[in-house]
């Protein structure tokens, strides 16, 4: 199955080159798509310079529309069967990380794989935000039905995708990406601005959860049915 790697970026001039180069160099047979969400720093200039040496699809949105819009646009122009989303601000990417994210999909042991950066301010095992990771692999056919639902969710997009997959009983696997560094907001900007962004993103996530309580219900019902089925099978085997 063909893989499309989608990199969504907004004002990531310090790291975008490393991410794009790593994706292109380690995945020569994959389709690489870079969606620039209206960056106003040197991101566009850097990407255009990279395009002279590396092969990838590049599209810049005229204005900043939010991460969810950029992700949806990447899906819309992708041609792969498997989608691999990559954040534009991570570093220390290795070839093995791509295999870790993609193999469970190829082997049909998971419908979505979430990659956790090992080098963060919170240990990956206890990180309460690990479900919101930007590194995730999934089948394109599984996300197509919800594109219109997630387009305007901005930072609530990962929350909705997770809820949708859980409500459908799909298998989700978390894996540790050894050595990958993901910077905190506080290391990228001023403390005041980082705190404001953190609060704003938290509000968007909370609103997504509240508005989509039906998906939470479906997930709970599905989990209950699954447990009942396990018990029934256990007693039938006795």
Number of compact structural domains in the chain: 1
Instruction: Give me the percent of the chain exceeding a pLDDT of 70.
Output: 79
pTM for the full model? 0.83
- Give a three-class secondary structure readout of the chain: CCEEEEEEECCCCCCHHHHHHHHHHHCCCCEEEEEECCCCCCHHHHHHHHCCCCCCEEEECCCCCCHHHHHHHHHHHCCCCEEEEEECCCECCCHHHHHHHHHHHHCCCCCEEEEEEEECCCCCCCCCCHHHCCCEEEEHHHHHHHHHHHCCCHHHHHHHHHHHHHHCCCCEEEEEEEEEECCCHHHHCCHHHHHHHHHHHHHHHHHHHHHCHHHHHHHHHHHHHHHHHHHHHHHHHC
Question: Residue 181's pLDDT is what?
Answer: 85
Residue 147's CATH number: 3.90.550.10
Residue 188 backbone dihedrals phi, psi, to 5 degrees: -105, -20
State the chain's mean pLDDT as an integer: 85
162-189 tens-digit pLDDT: 999 999 999 999 999 999 887 766 666 6
User: What's the confidence (pLDDT) of residue 234?
Assistant: 46
Residue 144 pLDDT more than 80? yes
pLDDT at 16: 96
Q: How far apart are the first and last CA of the chain?
A: 42
**pLDDT for res 207:** 73
| Whole-Å CA distances, 32 to 7, 8, 82, 100, 154 | 8, 11, 12, 18, 22
State how far the Cα of 31 lies from the Cα of 54, in Å rounded to an integer: 12
Quick: pLDDT tens for 121-135.
Answer: 555 555 556 678 889
What residue numbers bound the domain in which 31 lies? 3-237
pLDDT digits (tens, 9 = 90+) for 67-116: 999 999 999 999 999 999 999 999 999 999 999 999 999 999 999 999 98
30-39 in b/e burial notation, b at 16+ Cβ within 10 A? bbbbbbbbbb
How many other β-carbons are positioned within 10 Å of the β-carbon of residue 97? 23
């Amino acid at each position: 199955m063909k893989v499309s790697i989608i990199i969504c970026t907004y004002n990531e001039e310090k790291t975008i080159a490393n991410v794009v180069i790593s994706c292109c160099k380690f995945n020569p047979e994959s389709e690489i798509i870079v969606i620039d969400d209206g960056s106003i720093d040197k991101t566009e200039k850097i990407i255009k310079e990279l395009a002279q040496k590396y092969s990838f699809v590049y599209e810049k949105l005229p204005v900043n529309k939010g991460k969810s819009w950029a992700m949806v646009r990447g899906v819309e122009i992708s041609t792969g069967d498997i989608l691999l989303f990559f954040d534009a601000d991570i570093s220390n990417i290795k070839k093995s990380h791509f295999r870790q994210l993609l193999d469970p999909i190829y082997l049909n042991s998971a419908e979505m794989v979430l990659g956790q950066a090992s080098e963060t301010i919170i240990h990956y095992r206890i990180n309460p935000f690990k479900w919101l990771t930007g590194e995730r692999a999934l089948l394109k056919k599984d996300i197509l039905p919800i594109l219109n639902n997630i387009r305007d969710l901005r930072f609530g997009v990962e929350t909705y995708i997770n809820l949708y997959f859980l409500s459908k009983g799909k298998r989700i696997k978390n894996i540790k990406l050894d050595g990958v560094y993901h910077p905190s907001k506080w290391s990228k900007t001023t403390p005041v601005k980082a705190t404001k962004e953190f609060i704003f993103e938290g509000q968007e996530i909370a609103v997504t959860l509240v508005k989509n309580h039906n998906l939470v219900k479906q997930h709970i019902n599905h989990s209950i049915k699954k447990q009942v089925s396990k018990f029934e099978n256990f007693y039938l085997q006795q």
